[in-house]
Structure 1
Amino acid sequence: MANHDEDSVKLALLAHDLRTPLAAMRLTAELIGTGPLNGTQKDQLSILIRSIDALTQMTGELVTAAEPGSQAETRPSRIADVVSEIADLFQVAAEAKNLTLTLKIDDEAREAVTSSGGTLRRVITTLLDNAVKYTAEGWVTVEVRAAGHKSEDASGQGNPSSILISVADSGPGIEPEEGARLFRPFVRGRHGRETAPGTGLGLWGTAQFVRDMNGRLTLARSETGGSRFNVEIPLGEGDDGLLQAEADQHGTSATSEDASVTGPLSAHVLIVDDNETNCRLLAALLESFGISSEVARSGEQAVGLVQKSDFDAALLDLHMPGMSGVETAEALGSLRPDLPLIAVTAALESVGDTRLRDAGFREILTKPLSPAALFEAMKLASGRKAG
């Protein structure tokens, strides 16, 4: 048990460390999006950003899972949206192989939600990755449809009791004797061994994830050749309408949020971060708002700059060698109680919102950083000084 716990912590630490390059990648992509792009480039950039967000979500789940007493994810996600987003991510790979990737979603299944959106994402990603990778020509089809119904509601209609997601392809298919052992760890089918590298862990892990959702994963021969993987997910009581309530509570999408970014602002900001890439990206983003900046690569350096120069706000990374972000905030607060302090972190759960507020932080921005959120924080901190 001790070794298992130690391995979980090491994996969580790796996931935590991955957040910094992922945040840098997303911020870079956002900066690219501020320049002139044609329609195809905008679509490709959108796919890139969504892929980064998917990786960031996975790393967050790994960090949370390693925490003592951590709870499983509970925020509801629309199943059709999760599957549609992943299908979009694989369109480029399918087109590169001249494959036709088709998504079919029955109307009856469009509003069904799951509280295991992150787990479902990993399941569908693995199945689609295999389908595209091992299909040389033809097509890949993803279907989402209702399977089974609960008792009729007031309108006389029955709500789905489960959702069936099928990923089918026109590839070589899998022989029955291979299919019987394909969900074991480190086992690969003959065609997979002959055509592409792999570990044999993808389907085994997928089976574990489906089991975690109390679902069923089965393999069948596609009616027109190739393979068909079926994932059936039961829907919990009261799932209907949960997603709409969640959307009402948390506001609009990132696309409409980004549209609120306007400028310029007039301010001079201190960036405190030991990571050079993060500093350069933050400075570039602030510059796009009309904000000038100086960089401190440590808490000690930040204290020295604040003693000599006047700043309208300070952006602080929390995890730095020497003085931590919290210690730096406390030191800066004693020098300049009126200086707005803004935390920029990929690991809020390791410190806690209350601890940051007590240290004097007025705003907390999480990585991957939203340009719209940064703009709003700068607007509040600088008193919306027009440029």
Structure 2
Amino acid sequence: MKQILLHITAFLILPLMGLVHAGNIASDTINSSDFSFYKYKNKGEFNKAIKALSDAYETATSADDSESLINICNLYTELYLDYEQFDKVKVYIETAKRALNFYEYKKGEAISKSYEAIYLAQEGQEIQALQLIEEAKKNIPRRDAATNDLVILNEGIMYLHLDNLNRAKRNFQKLLPYQTGPEKEYLTAKILIHLAKIDLHKNYLENTELHLTRLLTIVNERGFMKLKYEASKLASELFEKERKYELALEYLKQAEAINSTYFSNKILTSQTQEAKNSQLEFLTRLNDQLKKDAVKQEQTVNISKLTSVLSSALLIIISLLTISLYRNNQIKFKTNDLLLKKNLELQVAKDSAERAMQAKAQFLSTVSHELRTPLYAVTGLTHLLLEEDPKESQKEHLKSLKYSGEYLLNFINDILQINKIEANKLSLDKYPFDFRQVLSKVVDSLQQPAKERNNKIVLDIDEKIPEMIIGDPLKLSQIFINLVGNALKFTENGSVTLSAKILNTSNSETTIHFEVQDEGIGISEEMQKNIFDSFSQGSEQINRKYGGTGLGLTIVKSLLTLYNSQITVNSEIGKGSTFLFDITFELPDNEIKELIKAPTKVQEELYANLNILVVEDNKINQVITQKMLAKKSMKCDIASDGYQAIEKAKKGSYDAILMDIHMPGISGLKATQEIRKFNKTIPIIALTAISLDESKDDFYEAGCNDVITKPFKPEVFYKKIAHNVVKNIKVNL
């Protein structure tokens, strides 16, 4: 009986396998990154892109590949959407619909509907566009990441046409950088230009610069002429807003040159005329193919009747087999019930563990957040007392108090950093920075603890390492401050060496090998296995003698994972330790270097003319902030809650507003939104102890220009006030 079943199954299935294999040949060609259509389309070579589609059609028809025929229709749609020829877009959308009536192809249907949603959105048909994008999502095959990402991207473009910029921005940010499909680099650049346009529209000029920095790197390297044209226009608009008129004119000329070479009306008309025959032939042959398939479908109906007879026989055989397997199934049911109970118990245990982890993270986040407010008073008052010429006998006590406050702040920051790592809320920023300057600042900041233990810090940087690289200088500084600071703590009367050697380099990126070597007490082989775990310092005796939180190396390891790097350690008791890792950085080109702003020197006279509104509900913090402003001869006015802040901002004339975020009544974010309704230009700087659930993006969305995290260092406090005031009044110091 089993042999009969196998023979019938083989009879029904084997003839189809050859057809599937033949179709996959053409599909693989179109879905490959080597498919020449993408190269020609993205570089602005319209005629060659059309020719590539024509060749692909020949391959698809010879392989009897219906899926590739629909893919080609979708590629025509994509091409004309990029060139904004919406009359042609409609033709190919309708052609794809006809083909989908004959062939069931969920992936092709999802992509086609997402393109149609874009078309309807630009036609102003909002309801129909939203309905279609939802249908497109439902048709995405399971585990098909490439189709899912493309539909999300097209949904973002649809929202752009519907003027829903916030929703569009969320879609684009979710995909950056683009990871799937044959056009990863091109679609990454396309997303960056959409984000740059949105931020420029919202007047977020710094964000616009960052997007353009990454965008110019890609389009210049890859030769994406259509996007380079749009990027040049956008750069011209940005520089015009920043009153950098020479740069604005330079980029405008570049855009005009690209347009005249690739996209002028004369060129596009000529290209369209030359491609017309190829497109007409494709549409005619596809129409004939669909007619033939309609006839085949009628024949299939007749075959299906025969198939139904065979299926009935097959069902009878299966029924007989089912009876023979019934007893075995009874045993399996009992086993499954037992497994189900065990799975439920495991699920309950898993849920309990997750709730415990969430409670721990929330508790630590709340504690670290609440400690920052009183710590602001401690560090602020200590700074003020040290500047008021205290007695020599008092200086030592005040310095001890300052050290204790900074130690507690570092501990709180480590806890918050660990919470963010565990909650996956850390990500890398990417922008050009001076590599040597970052490492030099790390070394300078640690000179005092080095002197206290009679140590010396040696900085050894390979001369071949480029001056400017692209990365996240803040997180790079955190890595080296933790490693070098740790090395200094466990070393006495010795040296700590921070070295950076180049491994390999190209025009677009460089790989650097880093080592932090000390002459300290060393780490045993046993302790090296868990030295990177949280709160691990080797032993209780080491913790008592040397102090510290035991979180530094955990933070270093987690930050390096953002760079796709791993840290290792070589150490021997009494002979010191060496920590090693490699990082690959992108390199900026000359155009990007022009976007980097030179640092400005703040003149002391600037502060004396400023009038600041301080919005703060805590009385002690009011006094401290007021005195710190007075130290620089700045005037200030106090608002104890958000309502007072709004009234004073309406009536008074201020150069800047320092806005506490957490206040009774209405929050600082809500007060900022209300102030922005009648005053768009005044700098508003948020003063907050950022918790795990807060994001600086929320502050910028509400209308804040900058954020100062409490408790803060006085030099950071003064610098940010000056920077935002200068930026507002457009004065170059």
TM over 0.5: yes
1:74 pairs with 2:74:
no
Q: Tell me if 1:265 matches 2:609.
A: yes
Name the counterpart of 1:220. Answer: 570
Deviations 1:15-45 (A, max 9, x none): 6556667877998899899999xxxxxxx9x
CA deviations 1:332-370 (Å, max 9, x no partner) are 789xx57986533146736443433xxxxxx73421564
Question: Greater share of strand residues, 1 or 2?
Answer: 1
Whose helix proportion is higher, 1 or 2?
Answer: 2
How is 1:1-387 mapped onto 2 (pairs within 5 angstroms)?
1-13=354-366, 62=417, 65=420, 72-76=427-431, 77-109=433-465, 111=467, 113=469, 115-146=471-502, 148-150=503-505, 161-184=510-533, 187-189=536-538, 192=542, 195-197=545-547, 200-221=550-571, 226-236=575-585, 239-241=586-588, 245=592, 248-249=594-595, 251-253=597-599, 256-259=600-603, 262=606, 264-265=608-609, 270-284=613-627, 286-287=629-630, 291-302=634-645, 311-313=652-654, 315=657, 316-328=659-671, 342-345=683-686, 346=688, 349=696, 351-356=698-703, 364-367=705-708, 370-375=717-722
Deviation, 1:172, is 3.2
Read off the aligned partner of 1:192 and give its amino acid letter: I
Letter in 2 for 1:349: K
Tell whether the 8 Å contact from 1:215 to 1:231 is kept in structure 2 after alignment. no
Is the partner of 1:367 in helix, strand or coil? strand
Shift of 1:89: 2.0
Note if contact 1:168-1:228 (Cα within 8 Å) is conserved in structure 2: yes
Q: Do the aligned partners of 2:518 and 2:578 also contact (CA within 8 Å) in 1?
A: no
Q: Distance in 1 between matches of 2:554 and 2:607?
A: 50
Deviations 1:357-387 (A, max 9, x none): xxxxxx7342156435535766899999xxx
Q: Deviations over 1:293-341 (max 9, x none)?
A: 332222345577789xx5213724333111323554677789xx57986
Tell me by how many angstroms 1:249 deviates: 3.5
The verdict on how the C-alpha distance between 1:280 and 1:227 changes in structure 2, with shifts beyond 3 A counting, is: same
Amino acid at match of 1:294: D
3-state SS in 1 of match to 2:662: coil
1:139 Cα deviation from its structure 2 partner: 1.8
Bigger Rg, structure 1 or 2: 2
Inter-partner Cα distance in structure 1 for 2:531 and 2:727: 56
CA-CA distance at 1:235 after TM superposition: 0.8
Letter in 1 for 2:705: I
Report the equivalent of 1:360: none
Counterpart-to-counterpart distance in 2, 1:21 and 1:261: 32
Specify whether residues 138 and 354 from structure 1 end up closer, same or farther in structure 2 by C-alpha distance, changes over 3 A only.
closer
Q: 1:343 to 1:201 in 2, by over 3 A?
A: closer
Measured against aligned partners, the alpha-carbon deviations of 1:129-183 in whole angstroms (never above 9, x if no partner) come to 222112232222221211x2145x5xxxxx8742222122222333444434544
C-alpha displacement at 1:258, in angstroms?
2.2
Post-superposition, which runs of at least 4 consecutive aligned residues in structure 1 deviate over 6 A? 21-36, 58-61, 66-69, 303-307, 330-334, 379-384
SS state of the match for residue 476, structure 2? Answer: helix
8 Å contact from structure 1 (residues 145, 165) kept in 2: yes
* Whole-Å separation in 2 of the counterparts to 1:341 and 1:87: 37
> 1:203 and 1:244, CA in 2 relative to 1: closer, same or farther beyond 3 A?
farther
- Report the equivalent of 1:359: none
Q: Is residue 113–residue 235 contact of structure 1 (8 Å, CA) maintained in 2?
A: no
Structure 2 residue ranges without an equivalent (≥5): 1-353, 390-398, 710-715
State whether residues 181 and 187 of structure 1, in contact with CA within 8 Å, keep that contact through their aligned partners in structure 2.
Answer: yes
- What is the percentage of aligned positions where both structures have the same residue? 19
Asked if the contact 1:99–1:137 (Cα under 8 Å) also holds between the matched residues in 2, the reply is yes
Measure, in 2, the Cα distance between the counterparts of 1:82 and 1:383: 28
Bigger CA drift: 116-125 or 372-381? 372-381
State the number of aligned residues: 347
Query: What is the RMSD computed on CA atoms of the aligned residues?
Result: 5.1
3-state DSSP of counterpart to 1:123: helix
Tell me the TM-score normalized by structure 2: 0.38
| Cα distance change, pair 3–249 in 1 and its aligned pair in 2 (3 A) | farther
- The CA distance in 1 between the partners of 2:724 and 2:473, in whole Å, is 29
Specify whether residues 197 and 299 from structure 1 end up closer, same or farther in structure 2 by C-alpha distance, changes over 3 A only.
Answer: closer
Does 1 or 2 have the higher relative contact order (CA < 8 Å, sep 6+)?
Answer: 1
CA shift, 1:95, in A, is 0.8
Q: Distance in 1 between matches of 2:505 and 2:730?
A: 54
What 5-or-longer segments of structure 1 have no aligned partner?
Answer: 37-43, 154-158, 357-362
User: Structure 1 residues 130 and 63 mapped into 2: Cα distance closer, same or farther (>3 Å)?
Assistant: closer
For the Cα contact (< 8 Å) 2:602–2:722, is it kept in 1? no
Say whether the 8 Å CA contact 1:218–1:230 is kept in structure 2: yes
